Amino acid sequence: MEHKKTFFSVTKETKHGTVYVEGPVPPEKLATYSFHEGLVAFRPPKQQQQAIIEIAGLPEGRIIIIRNENIIVGYVTYLYPDPLERWAEDRIDNMIELGAIEVVPDYRGTGAGKALLAVSFMGDEMEDYLVITTEYYWHWDLKGTGLNVWDYRKMMEKMMGSANFEYFATDDPEITSHPANCLMAREGKRVPPETMERFDRLRFRNRFMY
């Protein structure tokens, strides 16, 4: 499959001034920006910046960022599922995963997350993809937001729903290990039935349970 990457950029006014929401950003451009020190959800900022540079260099990799001048204050990643996860057991060419979405705490509550998702799906090529995301409560900033797991999940569902992600049931043990965890996916308009059938087989191994 050819992975087309059409670049989009939109401006957004925030209390911190004008920011740019844009992507997919190529690796060489990402390397010219600074990574905000508040982006610590997954690993130290410098390490995470190197990780997104590497993702951007993958054929299927897509990085959408929010930047204030030359400082990245938020990002979302898309790439093939991790080889160690169930979702990679059947390598579906047109199925990619929203692997991480993170926004600096000071920029939350400004619609930054929705803006990242909106720009992510501006390209018509995204209608060829099934995009999945696995939401685990242990990745959520419950302390920073002051929300409990259920309110945080409602917030995540609302944000993901703005980009037409829907809830999908699964018997994946990591997801079923806590009732707040969930699997969501966005089915592009041109995704063939075969892709969804293969996805369904990945979702359920123990069909007798359902």
Domains of the chain in start order, with CATH, are: 8-204 (3.40.630.30)
Q: What local confidence, expressed as pLDDT, does residue 207 receive?
A: 62
Alpha-carbon distance of 39 to 46, in angstroms, equals: 9
**Residue 148 · residue 180 · CB < 8 Å:** no
| Helix pair 112-120, 149-161: axis angle to 10 deg | 40
Q: What stretches in the chain show pLDDT beneath 70?
A: 207-210
| pTM > 0.95: yes or no | no
Q: What local confidence, expressed as pLDDT, does residue 18 receive?
A: 93
38, 161, 26, 5: CA torsion to nearest 10 = 180
For 74, residues 6+ apart whose C-beta sits below 8 A from its C-beta are 39, 65, 66, 101, 102, 103, 104, 107, 112, 113, 116
**Residue 80 · residue 116 · CB < 8 Å:** no
**Residue 199 · residue 169 · CB < 8 Å:** no
Q: What local confidence, expressed as pLDDT, does residue 210 receive?
A: 46
Helix (H) or strand (E) holding 203, with range, is helix 193-203
Q: What local confidence, expressed as pLDDT, does residue 87 receive?
A: 97
The amino acid that residue 194 corresponds to is E
Q: What local confidence, expressed as pLDDT, does residue 65 receive?
A: 98
List 100's β-bridge partners, or say none.
Answer: 77
